[in-house]
Amino acid sequence: SRPSVKTYLSTLELDPNGWTSLFDMLDDGDGLISPKEFVEGAMRLKGPAKSQDIIAIMHSLKMLHRSMHSVDQVVKHLREHTTIKLDESDGNSL
């Protein structure tokens, strides 16, 4: 890795050995990290997790779980209807 990046991360009291996972965590999904994303993310990573942060994560996970459950229900519904249509048309099912 680049020594200058490791030195900079050490200066910020961030683990320089885990910089690739750090950048993955800071990325908003576009594969790039803006200076603003880096600064805001690095500042949040310093120090212990706050209760507010943990509650926000728990809420996000709950919402994700609900969304996944909804998708699961739609898939089950589509499977049931697809099987019925195939059974009615040519005797085959999925």
> Hey, how many other C-beta atoms are within 10 angstroms of the C-beta on 14?
17
Phi and psi torsions of 14, nearest 5°: -110, 150
What angle, rounded to 10 degrees, do the helices at 19-26 and 35-45 form?
110
Question: Residue 37 has what pLDDT?
Answer: 85
Residue 85 or 27, more confident: 27
Average pLDDT over residues 74-88: 76
Convert the pLDDT of each residue in 42-61 to its tens digit.
777 776 777 777 888 899 99
- 90 pLDDT exceeds 60? no
Angle among Cα 20, 22, 25 to the nearest 5 degrees reads: 115
pTM above 0.75, yes or no: no
